């Protein structure tokens, strides 16, 4: 099976030029001008359109047993939604309950994806406890191709690890050369602040922010970086939301700590007033760390352009507004945390990043694809358009104009946090390893074709 994309305006993180792209089977076979279509090849004319490497979402939850319920998407709906929006590879966090072994957790998450995933996928292995059996099991999981861990410094009694477990996880990661991704919020401070707010009668969604203010996140980032500095491990702060936490990460980097930073499309475009909306509407916007004061948005955009933040993810965590968010109707601490975004990350980042002049097209590719590929060991297989790489390509329609609406979305959740927002451009054609998987907002690929990606340890930006 061959696919020829003619007249592509190829945009990589470090280059931009016009050429034809010939894909043969799973990979890019040749990039040149004036390639004559081989007999039987499918030909797509991309004249006037940018063509990007398939976008990578380094932080999603598809199978998520959490806060007394389960996130709504499964691998079929979640990866279809990803593809429609231009994302061709996702990373999911394996989040086993503390009583489950790492081996059982890894096997359970793999079963969720097999036969259902429509795009390629990998996992960050959640280390939700560290006991006598952990090191051996984690070594096996790394050998099976999962070269990153996930720890939660929050969620007391659920996924959260204590400091001894954090130390042991980071020490093992340093020995194995794998990256540790981390949810950074001080769990004791969260628990104490939640109790104080509830005792004062603050039970509504507007209290969520005050239970996890910037200082709680900043302490988490500093804490992680102290442990990373002492163990020598490479760490990756997930879903960083605010200036103070960024300053803590940048200060640690300046002292020599190997720390990467991810922010989310939610923090770039939404602010804490959304979670303060009356009539429980604010529950749609309850996630952790919380949406912040609007002043943080400019800080995050500038940090992306300056290379201080490496990736933009979604932390896709879809809980229905009608039936699941009300678990916390009378107590904000029980609202399932999370905002779905897997479908809209790329189009929103283009619209508010590139179209508004905050990011160049090359920076857009870096933060939405290439940097994740490099940090997590997928580059140059993914994250770049070059011969020998896998043929994950996004032909962009810069003329498209539309509006985000839950009623027309692919992700299986009953609301969209970006409802009514305008989109200026979207994927026209999305390919996964040489096969067209989405066209003009509609999935047209093969259910179950998505492949588990075995990853070696990363080649980090700056190495
Ligand atoms: O609120 C969030 N972020 N929900 C998903 C779980 C997590 O913390 O990543
Ligand atoms: Zn988290
Ligand atoms: Zn998450």
Q: What is the pLDDT of residues 195-245, one digit of tens each?
A: 999 999 999 999 999 999 999 999 999 999 999 999 999 999 999 999 999
Does residue 188 form part of some domain? yes
pLDDT of residue 328: 98
Mean pLDDT of 417-426: 98
Does residue 359 form part of some domain? yes
Does residue 403 form part of some domain? no
Please tell me the total number of residues recorded for the chain in this structure: 463
Q: Ligand 1 pocket check: which of 96, 338, 339, 417 to mutate, most ligand atoms within 8 Å of Cβ?
A: 338
Q: What is the pLDDT of residues 318-360, one digit of tens each?
A: 999 999 999 999 999 999 999 999 999 999 999 999 999 999 9
Does residue 427 form part of some domain? no
Residue 46 Cα to ligand 3 middle (Å): 35
Q: What is the pLDDT of residues 118-164, one digit of tens each?
A: 999 999 999 999 999 999 999 999 999 999 999 999 987 889 999 99
Does residue 444 form part of some domain? no
For ligand 1, say whether the CB of 314 is within 6 Å of any of its atoms: no
Q: What burial letters (b/e) apply to 347-381, b meaning 16+ CB within 10 Å? A: bbbbbbbbeeebbebebbbbbbbbbbbbbbbbbbb
Q: How many domains does the chain have?
A: 1
Residue 458 has pLDDT above 70, yes or no: no
Sheet strands (E) in 184-264: 234-237, 259-264
Residue 35 Cα to ligand 2 middle (Å): 46
Cβ atoms of 239 and 265 within 8 Å: the answer is no
The pLDDT-based confidence of 459 (bands split at 50, 70, 90) is low
Mean pLDDT of 384-410: 98
For ligand 1, say whether the CB of 287 is within 6 Å of any of its atoms: yes
Residue 31 Cα to ligand 1 middle (Å): 40
Q: What is the CATH number of the domain that holds 88?
A: 3.20.20.140
Closest ligand by atom to 338 CA: 1
Give the domain range for residue 224.
53-375
Mean pLDDT of 250-269: 98
For ligand 1, say whether the CB of 337 is within 6 Å of any of its atoms: yes
Does residue 421 form part of some domain? no
Does residue 9 form part of some domain? no
For ligand 1, say whether the CB of 241 is within 6 Å of any of its atoms: no
For ligand 1, say whether the CB of 318 is within 6 Å of any of its atoms: no
| Dihedral sign (CA 185, 294, 415, 351) | negative
Alpha-helical (H) ranges within 350-399 are: 361-365, 371-375
Look over the chain and give the mean of its residue pLDDT values, rounded to a whole number.
97
Pairing verdict, β 393-403 and 422-432 = antiparallel
Does residue 10 form part of some domain? no
């Amino acid at each position: 099976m061959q696919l020829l994309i003619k007249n592509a305006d190829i945009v990589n993180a470090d280059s931009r030029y016009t050429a034809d792209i010939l894909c043969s089977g799973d990979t890019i076979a040749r990039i040149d001008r004036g390639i004559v279509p081989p007999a039987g090849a499918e030909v797509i004319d991309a004249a006037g359109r940018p063509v990007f490497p398939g976008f990578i979402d380094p932080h999603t939850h598809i199978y998520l047993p959490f806060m007394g319920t389960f996130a709504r998407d499964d691998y079929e709906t979640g990866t279809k939604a990803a593809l429609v929006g231009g994302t061709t590879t996702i990373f999911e966090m394996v989040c086993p309950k503390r009583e489950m072994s790492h081996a059982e957790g890894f096997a359970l998450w793999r079963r969720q994806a097999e036969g259902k995933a429509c795009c390629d996928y990998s996992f960050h292995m959640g280390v939700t406890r560290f006991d006598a059996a952990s090191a051996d099991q984690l070594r096996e999981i790394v050998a099976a191709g999962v070269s990153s861990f996930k720890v939660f410094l929050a969620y007391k009694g659920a996924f959260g690890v204590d400091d001894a477990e954090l130390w042991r996880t980071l020490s093992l990661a340093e020995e194995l050369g794998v990256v540790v991704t981390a949810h950074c919020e001080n769990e004791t401070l969260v628990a104490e602040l939640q109790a104080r707010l509830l005792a004062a009668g603050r039970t509504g969604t507007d209290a969520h922010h005050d239970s996890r203010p910037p200082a709680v996140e900043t302490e988490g980032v500093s804490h992680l970086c102290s442990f990373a500095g002492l163990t020598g491990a490479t760490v990756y702060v997930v879903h960083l939301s605010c200036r103070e936490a960024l300053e803590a990460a940048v200060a640690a980097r300046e002292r020599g700590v190997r720390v990467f930073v991810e922010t989310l499309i939610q923090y770039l475009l939404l602010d804490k007033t959304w979670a303060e909306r009356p009539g429980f509407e604010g529950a749609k916007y309850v996630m952790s760390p919380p949406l912040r004061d609007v002043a943080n948005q400019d800080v995050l955009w500038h940090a992306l352009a300056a290379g201080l933040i490496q990736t933009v993810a979604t932390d896709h965590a879809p809980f229905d507004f009608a039936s699941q968010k009300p678990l916390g109707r009378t107590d904000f601490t029980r609202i399932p945390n999370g905002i779905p975004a897997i479908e809209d990350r790329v189009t929103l980042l283009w619209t508010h990043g590139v179209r508004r002049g905050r990011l160049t097209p090359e920076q857009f590719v870096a933060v939405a694809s290439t940097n994740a590929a490099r940090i997590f060991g997928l580059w140059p297989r993914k994250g770049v358009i070059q011969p020998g790489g896998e043929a994950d390509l996004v032909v962009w329609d810069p003329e498209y104009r539309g509006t985000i609406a839950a009623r027309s979305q692919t992700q299986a959740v009953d609301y969209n946090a970006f409802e009514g927002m305008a989109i200026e451009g979207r994927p026209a054609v999305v390919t996964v390893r040489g096969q067209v998987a989405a066209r003009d907002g509609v999935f047209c690929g093969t259910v179950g074709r998505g492949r588990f990606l075995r990853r070696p340890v990363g080649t980090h930006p700056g190495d």
